[in-house]
Structure 1
Amino acid sequence: MVKDTLLDYRFSVAPMMDWTDRHCRMFHRSLSKQALLWTEMVTADAVIHGDRDRLIGFSEAEHPLVLQLGGSDPEKLVEAARIAEGFGYDEVNINCGCPSDRVQSGRFGACLMQEPATVAAGVAAMRKAVSIPVTVKCRVAVDEDPPRETLFGFVDQVADAGCEIFTVHARKAWLSGLSPKENRDIPPLDYGLVAELKAERPDLTIILNGGIKTLSECAAHLDGFDGVMLGRAAYQTPHILTRVDHWLETGEADDGLDMQACLEGLEAYRPYMAMQLQEGAKLSHMTRHMLGLFAGQPGARGWRRTLSEKAVKDGAGLEVLDEALAHVAPEMATA
């Protein structure tokens, strides 16, 4: 099977509701030029009928960038995909993994693992309508469904419809009895099952997601997969991203915090922050994504406390960032 994209799938940051908004993505892009970034999930209905600039607008600097859609109606998915392509997204992805009550009531997310024919119909229609890649993010199974039979059957049917790229969260989705938060850690991950999928379907691009915390783990997983996706670890300890480009270029995975690279990333992000403040954005909407940047370093508590307490105040500007920086890098703080 000939791949229909030149995107680098070796490292990506997961789509996370209420986290990976455009401020977050621009911050992450300031730390890594090569990481593949994803939007939060946006429903097809919202893309079609909502405020598109607010919901799916992005800065050119965010490329490469994937728009993740929630939905199951092929016609709506097609229209949303066309809009995404028109906006300049590099890829559009169908969410078949989120276990929240909201997605269940809307018949999208993880419940679609039990409707592979529906997903296949959406993929086939979208591929005919757009030239950008149409991909799927899924779980291994849902509730009591048998994992191997469910995963392989789902992937085979959706791949037959033209999907070549699957990001697999290596954990079952529980649609009842567990909250989405609990489902982040329960039941156990099954990397082995996803590795079997890649081994038996070598023509497909399989990206592993779930529970990966360090670049060393990422490097180890690349032996069996086409790529890895980090979620909470990339968000809660974003300094990881400063090491990604070097790893992808050299193969050398370093888990240490590169203080200079973190400071350079902040400097690169600063003009964007200034522009957003001029346009009326609140400082806290940007700084909330930075709280874990210096985790484990001297002064990290003061950094977090200053941003948490002062960035939320009306009229807060970059002077708050400078005050926070003084706790971790006094030489970088400017008056």
Structure 2
Amino acid sequence: MIIGFSNVATKWGFSIPTIERLKSVWPGVEAFRVGLGALQPQVIPPYIRTAAEALGPFTHVLLEINSSAYAMHPLSTEENGRELLADILLTVQDCGAEAAFMLHLRHWTRPVCLDFDALVSRFCAELDLPIIDLSQGWIAQHGADQVAAWMRDETHTTKEGGEAMAETLTPFLIDFLGRQPSLTGRNLPRPRLRRGVLSTAPLLEGWPRERHECLGLPLDFARIDGGEARLQLDHTVRAQGLVHMFHCAGGRNTVTLDPSGETLPLTTIDPHSNVPRVGVLAFDKMRGTDLRGLTISSTEPADDVQLRKGVRETPLRIYVGPLLTLEPVQD
């Protein structure tokens, strides 16, 4: 499985040509991609688990987690970055798979608060994990002018750029697939918190459920239209966010958290919503909040949002997925 962010998801990214090359040189290999555009690496552990349930089992995971905006976030530090990497690696091990990391080029548009590329490189070196540098290493290999010609913007490749990236990545993955397993039964660094998934299906059973394919990952959502929805838990959980879906019938909602009473605005349509994709409403910038329930308002129009492709759908509605949780590690 290739899991990562928007250049995994886009059709001109590296993942599709990489999978095509793998299948041509390794008959019988099954490979798939999970693209989580515009999200943060805090969602990677729960979505590895979700992908394992929906698409697995799988034997190898390529982690493209460095092209997100995590490096620019003022709350990103060496300590919480290592904590996150430990949780990601442990989650791959929990699924019975091997892990490799990929540094993906991104030209930063704001000041960098954490050199996440350097942190991931050190983490992999310390644990003898496979890693490929398609960030500054890619520029060193091909030259800045050539790489610039392969980029549509600060991180997304052109079709030719995706092909060039796949050409470099495929031999690395072939070597990765042939490598002796190293995670099975291994004692790995343990994080203080594990990032999990809590289904909201039993809590929203009065609403119809629909399955949608979100950039390679089939997911179930509650479809809520025609009124507000109340989600009540039977115990307090530490929740880092609520999963929803961007789509053509989206609009604006208000989510009220219990017991804090905090109200959070949520917009589930954007210019790219002609393609359904996963979104996460973050609680306290993904640091999480103690939650006993929440209320989702009825969906209001977002007429100022213009789709770049496709047409709006009616009636307005919101698709609600699981809660993403933070769970203390039990010694």
Q: Scaled by the length of structure 2, what TM-score is found?
A: 0.32
More helix by share: 1
More strand by share: 2
Answer 1 or 2: higher relative contact order, Cα 8 Å, separation at least 6: 2
